[in-house]
Amino acid sequence: MFYICHYSSPMGLITLASQHNKLVGAWIEGQKYFGQIVNATKQEKSNLTIFNQTKKWLDDYFLEKKPSIKQLSLAPQGSAFRYMVWDILAQIPYGEVITYGYIAKQVALKCNKPHMSSQAVGGAVGHNPLSIIIPCHRVIGANGNLTGYAGGIDKKIWLLQHEQVDIQNFFIPKKGTAI
């Protein structure tokens, strides 16, 4: 059984999901890849401890207090490959960005492989079930391309600006499947 509740943020409604008192999802309204709870048995229950902690975390985030991801009990569900990518995402500091290519190189090193596909990394980043908390918005394409945010490019830009990232040299691609 999954439990869900909603959090009203400055950038729209965020749906939170938990299982076994751990946070398994945080999706921005309209986000692609809403996760496994779409078809699962779920119950609205907004007063769970994990939801109260997450709401406090999000309040602090939107007040620019830079809360630590370690404050929350997280249990995203995914493959070993996705966990590896999400772990790298979780280490990106506030106000900084990295590229899909950089993540691919880190994963290749961890897997003792000569290279890793940036597209495979992009799939794992895009399926991150804990938007904002695991900061997939801090990942950009080569040369400052602002592609690939399941919550929408407008939300990615909002989050980066909220974190005071200088985005003046970044750009939104004119075409592609990830915009």
Residues that are catalytic: 136
Question: 44 has which bridge partners?
Answer: 4
Residue for token digits 């003792």? 112
